[in-house]
Chains A and B, each alone.
Chain A
C-alpha cells in the first residue's frame, strides 16, 4: 500500500473518531500563554470554532492516533473485524497537526483517542507522549482531552492526568451483560474501577491544590464517559439508572449519550437504521433533570412506557402532565425547588424570576421578559394577572404541549 500523507491519514482517523459525541472544551481551569510565551489558552467556558451540518460543535481536533485495533467491539467502526481503511499517525504528526490547526484558530485543542495496538500499555503510552510533547516542547496551553484505556497500567493514567485537561473512559453500554456481549474484550467492573481510581486522583489533586498553588494539576476538567443508545436492548430506565450511579459513585462530570448510527461495514448483530436522535435528545434532557433540576431517576421514569421516555413531550413536561396535582405553581411565592419543576422554565429563568420578584409581583408580561417564551409555561403557572383555570385539567393539554410536526428541511430539494 502506498504511504499515506498527513491529509489522507487525517481523513481516515477523523472519520474513525466521529462516533465519540464529546467535543467539549469547557470546565477546565483558566490558563493563558502570557507568561509562558507559548501558544494556547483556556477560558473555562469552551469555544465551538465551527459547526458541521450534523449540528455538532467542532471545538477540538478529534482524531484517533490509529484505527488499527485488537478489540472487536460490535458497535465500533474500528473493531478488528471491520473492513475500514486503516491508518496510523506518529506522535509527531499529531503534535504538529494540533499546533498547525490551533495557530490558525480552527480549534480549542485536541481530543485524542486510539484503537488498541500491540497492547493497552503501549497505546496509552503513545497517547501520553503526545500530550507531554505538546505541553512541554511546544508550551501548548490549549485544551487536551485524552481517552484513557482501562486495561492500561494505572501509572500511565497518572501520567495522562498531569498533561490532560480531561480524561475519559467510555462505558459504551449500560449493563455489564451488554458489555460482555458486544465488547467481549472489555470488562464493566474494570471500567468502573478505573473510573473510581481517576475520580480519587482528581479529588486528591484538588485538595492538594487548595493547600498549595504549586501542587500538580490532575485532569482539572474532570472525567466523562459515553453510552451508546439503541445498539443493545437496554431501555432508557436502565441507561438513566447507570448514569445516576456514575454521577454519584465515580464523580463523573458528564455522561454523553450517542445514538447508535449506522457505520460502514457494521456488525450484523446491530440494528441497521437511522439513529434514534430524538431518543438521544430526551436522554440528555432527562440527564439535565438529574443534575440541575433535582429530579430522581424514579420520578423521571415512573411513567415511562416500557422503560422508554416519551418522544412527543420532553421528560419534564411528561412528569408535569402526570403530576398535575402539584400545579399550578405561583411564580410569586413558590420556592426555587418547585419553580425548577415548571415545564418551560429553565435554571436561568428560575434565577431571574427569584431576583425579579423581590421588586414587585410579577405579571405575565414580566415573565415574558425574563424567559424566552411562556407558551409551554402558561398552563402550569400563576402570575399576578394570570391563572390557567381549567386548562390544567383539560384532556387536550398533552396534545397542545406535544412537539409540533416536523418542519421542512431547509436544504431539501
Chain B
C-alpha cells in the first residue's frame, strides 16, 4: 500500500503529480491510499507544487512510458476533485489508470466510474452556481474617489472558493470586495485578486441599508395565488437560508398566502358598485313638463350667485328622450348662447356621438349646474369649478328634470355630474364603462367629460382616451337597444 499525502483539500496539482508518478510506476488503484496531510490542512496554497515534492518520493521508480491522459478527461476529474467526498482522489486515479487501457472511457456516460465522477462534478457545478447566486454583499464604505467596498460571508459545500474568484472579479471589477468562507477568503481591490485564510461569519458586517429594499422587493414580487414551496425548496434548499437576508420572510409569506388569495377572490365577488339613493325622495312637485320646471327654476331667487352668470341655461332635447347626458355646467359660449353643449366640448360630444352611432336627436343634454361659474381675467371669463354646495343646490332640480324625461340611460359626463346624480364623489376611472342600476329601472353610465379629452396634451394620448370615450357611448347606446 502506498500512502499519498496531499498538501490540502484543494491540492489538485499534488494529486496530478502523484497520479503521473503512480501511473509510470504502474501501481494499481487498489494499492494507493489517498490522504490529505493533517499538518497541512490549513495550508491554502493549493497550487503550490513544492509542498508535494517531498512526499512524491514515496512513489516507486518509473517502470513504463510517460502516461497519456486526454485533456478533456483531466478537466472533468479536476472539477470533481473540488468535491468534499474523501473518495474523490482515489476515484480520479482509478479512472486515469483505466484510461491507460481504455482511452475513450470518458466518452461513455454509462460507465459506473464515469457516472460517479459525473455525479461529483455535477454537484461541484451546482455548488459554484449557487455561490454565484447566493453571495450577498454588504457595503462597508467608499474611498475618496467614490469607489465602494463590499464584504460577504458564504458557506460553500465543497472546496470551490478559489475557483469562483475569477467570476466575481469579472463581474464586480468596478468595486472592491472581499468574500469570506470558513476555508478561504478571496478579495479584489481593482488591481489584484488575492486569496487568504478562512474566517467566521462575525468577521463581516451584519447589515446593509439596501437590504430593507431588497426584502420589500422579495415580498412584493411573490404572487400569493401561486404558492409552490416545493419548487422553491428544490432550487433554494433551507441550508442556504441562514445567509440570505430575504429568507427570513419565507415562513410569513407562505403562511399568509392562502388568506391573501382568498381575500382577493372574496373581495371581487362583493365589489359590484351599488348606487344607493342617498338623496331624500323628491317631494311631490307638480312639474309635469320641462317648461314649467324651468319657469320655476328661473323664478327661484335662492340660487348661489357669487361668481355666477345670471343666465340660466336649460337642458335641451326631446322631453321623452331615452338617453340623457349630464355635463358639469355651461361654459362661456353656452352662457352667451343660452344653450347647453354648443362650445368646443359640445362640438366634440357631437362628433363622438356621430362616431359611436348614437342618434343625437334622441338625446336630452343638460348640466348638473345650470349657470356659468367663472373668474374674470382681463377680457376673458375663465371657467371655475362649481363647489359641492353649488352642485347640491341644483341637484334637486336635476332630479325633477330626470323624472320628467324618464330616460332609460343616463350618461354622467365627468365628476360633477356623477356627484349630482349619486350624491357621492366617485372616481371616474374606477367606475366608468359599466351600466349601473339607477332609480326607476334606468341605467347610469359614468364616463369622462369631453373637455377632459380637449385638455390632454398629446396627440397619441388623446386618441386613446377618445377611443375609450367612444366605447362608453357605444355601451350606453347598446343598453337602449337591450
A residues whose Cβ falls under 8 Å from a Cβ of B: 6-7, 10-12, 14-15, 17-19, 32-34, 36-41, 43, 47-58, 61-62, 70-72, 80-83, 97, 100-101, 103-106, 116, 118-122, 139, 141, 151, 184-185, 259, 261-266, 268, 272-275, 277, 352, 355-356, 358-359, 362, 366-367, 369-370, 407, 409-411, 413
Distance A37 CA – B189 CA, assembled complex (angstroms): 12
Chain A CB within 8 A of B208 CB: yes
Distance A411 CA – B224 CA, assembled complex (angstroms): 14
Closest 9 CB pairs of A and B: A55-B231, A55-B228, A32-B170, A356-B110, A119-B460, A14-B220, A261-B225, A33-B173, A366-B110
Whether B169 pairs with A262 at a CB distance below 8 angstroms is no
Distance A34 CA – B211 CA, assembled complex (angstroms): 27
Instruction: Note all chain A residues with C-beta closer than 8 A to B107.
Output: 355, 358-359
Q: A41 with B225: in contact, given A101-B214, A119-B458, A356-B110 (CB under 8 Å)?
A: no
Whether B108 pairs with A355 at a CB distance below 8 angstroms is yes
Q: A411 with B265: in contact, given A184-B471, A185-B464 (CB under 8 Å)?
A: no
Chain A CB within 8 A of B71 CB: no
Minimal beta-carbon separation of A72 from chain B (angstroms): 6
Q: Which residue of B lies closest to A41 (CB)?
A: B171
Chain A CB within 8 A of B364 CB: no
Minimal beta-carbon separation of B116 from chain A (angstroms): 9
Identify which of residues 193-238 in chain B touch chain A, using a CB-to-CB cut-off of 8 Å: 208, 210-214, 216-233, 235-236
Minimal beta-carbon separation of A284 from chain B (angstroms): 13
Chain A CB within 8 A of B272 CB: yes
Whether B223 pairs with A105 at a CB distance below 8 angstroms is no
Minimal beta-carbon separation of A276 from chain B (angstroms): 11
Q: A38 with B174: in contact, given A10-B213, A104-B138 (CB under 8 Å)?
A: yes
Whether B268 pairs with A268 at a CB distance below 8 angstroms is yes
Whether B109 pairs with A53 at a CB distance below 8 angstroms is no
- Of B88-96, B250-258, B306-314, the segment with at least 4 beta carbons within 8 Å of chain A is B250-258
Instruction: Note all chain B residues with C-beta closer than 8 A to A82.
Output: 430
Distance A14 CA – B281 CA, assembled complex (angstroms): 47
Whether A118 pairs with B457 at a CB distance below 8 angstroms is yes
Q: A32 with B173: in contact, given A55-B230, A70-B464 (CB under 8 Å)?
A: yes
Distance A151 CA – B460 CA, assembled complex (angstroms): 9
Interface membership of chain B positions 242-276, coded 1 if the CB is closer than 8 angstroms to chain A and 0 otherwise: 00101000110111010001001101110110000
The answer, among B148, B172, B264, for a CB contact under 8 Å with A263, is B264
Instruction: Note all chain A residues with C-beta closer than 8 A to B169.
Output: 34
Whether A275 pairs with B228 at a CB distance below 8 angstroms is no
Instruction: Note all chain A residues with C-beta closer than 8 A to B471.
Output: 184
The answer, among A10, A41, A81, A185, for a CB contact under 8 Å with B170, is A41
Whether A10 pairs with B216 at a CB distance below 8 angstroms is yes
Whether A81 pairs with B432 at a CB distance below 8 angstroms is yes
Distance A274 CA – B253 CA, assembled complex (angstroms): 17
Whether B173 pairs with A39 at a CB distance below 8 angstroms is yes
In this complex, the interface size class of chain B, counting residues with CB under 8 Å from chain A, is: 35 or more
Whether B221 pairs with A58 at a CB distance below 8 angstroms is yes
Chain A CB within 8 A of B129 CB: yes
Q: A50 with B264: in contact, given A38-B173, A101-B214, A104-B139 (CB under 8 Å)?
A: no
Instruction: Note all chain A residues with C-beta closer than 8 A to B221.
Output: 14-15, 17-18, 52, 56, 58, 62
Instruction: Note all chain B residues with C-beta closer than 8 A to A32.
Output: 170-171, 173
**Main SS class of interface, B:** helix
**Main SS class of interface, A:** loop
Q: A48 with B223: in contact, given A36-B173, A53-B250 (CB under 8 Å)?
A: no
Q: Which residue of B lies closest to A185 (CB)?
A: B464
Q: A70 with B254: in contact, given A41-B170, A52-B221, A272-B268 (CB under 8 Å)?
A: no
Instruction: Note all chain B residues with C-beta closer than 8 A to A106.
Output: 136, 214
Q: A120 with B229: in contact, given A100-B213, A262-B261 (CB under 8 Å)?
A: no
The answer, among A14, A53, A71, for a CB contact under 8 Å with B464, is A71
The answer, among B170, B217, B465, for a CB contact under 8 Å with A33, is B170
Whether B220 pairs with A11 at a CB distance below 8 angstroms is yes
Q: A37 with B218: in contact, given A51-B232, A369-B115, A411-B229 (CB under 8 Å)?
A: no
19 sample A-B contacts, Cβ–Cβ < 8 Å, listed by A number: A47-B129, A47-B133, A52-B253, A54-B222, A55-B230, A57-B235, A58-B221, A101-B213, A103-B150, A105-B137, A118-B457, A118-B458, A185-B468, A265-B271, A268-B268, A277-B228, A352-B110, A355-B109, A359-B104
Q: Which residue of B lies closest to A367 (CB)?
A: B110
The answer, among B148, B265, B433, for a CB contact under 8 Å with A103, is B148
Whether A185 pairs with B467 at a CB distance below 8 angstroms is yes
The answer, among A105, A119, A410, for a CB contact under 8 Å with B229, is A410
Instruction: Note all chain B residues with C-beta closer than 8 A to A12.
Output: 220
Q: Which residue of B lies closest to A119 (CB)?
A: B460
Chain A CB within 8 A of B132 CB: yes
11 more A-B contacts (CB under 8 A) besides A12-B220, A53-B229, A273-B265? A7-B212, A33-B172, A36-B173, A38-B174, A50-B246, A55-B230, A81-B431, A103-B172, A104-B211, A104-B214, A358-B107
Distance A124 CA – B227 CA, assembled complex (angstroms): 33
Chain A CB within 8 A of B111 CB: yes
Instruction: Note all chain B residues with C-beta closer than 8 A to A185.
Output: 464, 467-468
Whether B216 pairs with A33 at a CB distance below 8 angstroms is no
Most buried by B among A18, A48, A105: A105
Interface membership of chain B positions 440-463, coded 1 if the CB is closer than 8 angstroms to chain A and 0 otherwise: 000000000000000001111100
Instruction: Note all chain A residues with C-beta closer than 8 A to B429.
Output: 80-81
Whether A72 pairs with B236 at a CB distance below 8 angstroms is no
Distance A266 CA – B266 CA, assembled complex (angstroms): 11
Whether A54 pairs with B232 at a CB distance below 8 angstroms is yes
Distance A81 CA – B246 CA, assembled complex (angstroms): 33
Chain A CB within 8 A of B135 CB: yes
Whether B220 pairs with A101 at a CB distance below 8 angstroms is no
Minimal beta-carbon separation of B79 from chain A (angstroms): 16
Whether A104 pairs with B173 at a CB distance below 8 angstroms is no
Whether B112 pairs with A53 at a CB distance below 8 angstroms is no
Whether A97 pairs with B213 at a CB distance below 8 angstroms is yes
Interface membership of chain B positions 52-91, coded 1 if the CB is closer than 8 angstroms to chain A and 0 otherwise: 0000000000000000000000000000000000000000
Instruction: Note all chain A residues with C-beta closer than 8 A to B186.
Output: none
Q: Which residue of A lies closest to B456 (CB)?
A: A118
Distance A103 CA – B152 CA, assembled complex (angstroms): 11
Whether A70 pairs with B465 at a CB distance below 8 angstroms is yes
Q: Which residue of B lies closest to A16 (CB)?
A: B220
Identify which of residues 148-191 in chain B touch chain A, using a CB-to-CB cut-off of 8 Å: 148, 150, 152, 167, 169-175, 190
The answer, among B218, B460, B467, for a CB contact under 8 Å with A50, is B218
Minimal beta-carbon separation of A62 from chain B (angstroms): 6
Minimal beta-carbon separation of B287 from chain A (angstroms): 37
Minimal beta-carbon separation of A38 from chain B (angstroms): 5
Distance A239 CA – B221 CA, assembled complex (angstroms): 26
Minimal beta-carbon separation of A54 from chain B (angstroms): 4
Whether A81 pairs with B433 at a CB distance below 8 angstroms is yes
Distance A21 CA – B380 CA, assembled complex (angstroms): 54
Chain A CB within 8 A of B134 CB: yes
Minimal beta-carbon separation of A136 from chain B (angstroms): 14
The answer, among A53, A268, A273, A355, for a CB contact under 8 Å with B257, is A53
Distance A6 CA – B210 CA, assembled complex (angstroms): 11
Instruction: Note all chain B residues with C-beta closer than 8 A to A259.
Output: 226
Distance A105 CA – B112 CA, assembled complex (angstroms): 38
Minimal beta-carbon separation of A180 from chain B (angstroms): 11
Whether B174 pairs with A33 at a CB distance below 8 angstroms is yes
